[in-house]
Chain A
Amino acid sequence: MGNLKPKLRLDNNLHVLRATMKITQAELADAIGVTRATVNAMERGDYNPSLELAFRLSLYFKKNIHEIFTVGVENEKN
Chain B
Amino acid sequence: MKKIDQIILWTLGLGFPVVVGLMIWANSIETQVIEGKKEVIKTGGLWDTLGIFFIIWVVLAAITLIRLLINSKLRETMLSKVARIQERDEREVEVSGYAAKFSFFANLALLVLLLFLSSVNLKLKRDNQGFLDSEGQTKHGYIQLGFALKAYDEKSFKYENNNLGKELSYTDLPISKSGIIIFLIVWQMAMYHLSARKKLKVE
Give A residues with C-beta under 8 Å from B.
Answer: 33-35, 37-38, 41, 47, 49-50, 52-53
Q: Which residues between 62 and 101 of chain B lie within 8 Å of chain A, taking CB atoms?
A: 88-92, 94
A-B contact pairs, 9 of them (CB 8 A): A33-B89, A34-B89, A38-B89, A38-B91, A38-B92, A47-B94, A49-B90, A49-B91, A52-B90
In angstroms, Cα B89 to Cα A53, docked, is 10
Which residue of chain A lies nearest to B90 when distances are taken between CB atoms in the complex? A50
Residues of B within 8 Å of A52, CB to CB, are 90
Q: Is the CB of B90 within 8 A of A53?
A: yes
What residues make up the interface of B, taking CB atoms closer than 8 Å to A? 88-92, 94
The answer for the CA separation of A53 and B94 in the assembled complex, in Å, is: 14
Provide the bound-state CA to CA distance between A53 and B91, in Å: 10
Contacts of A34 in B (CB 8 A): 88-91
Q: Among the listed B90, B91, B94, which residue makes an inter-chain contact with A37, where contact means beta carbons less than 8 Å apart?
A: B91
* CA A33 to CA B91, docked complex, whole Å: 12
Chain A residues with Cβ below 8 Å from B92 are 35, 38
Residue contact B91 to A47, C-beta cutoff 8 Å: yes
Complex CA distance for A38 and B94, rounded to whole angstroms = 11
Residues of A within 8 A of B91 (CB): 34-35, 37-38, 41, 47, 49
For residue A53, which residues in chain B have a CB less than 8 angstroms away from its CB? Answer: 90
Task: Determine the distance from Cα of A52 to Cα of B88 in the docked complex, in whole angstroms.
Answer: 15
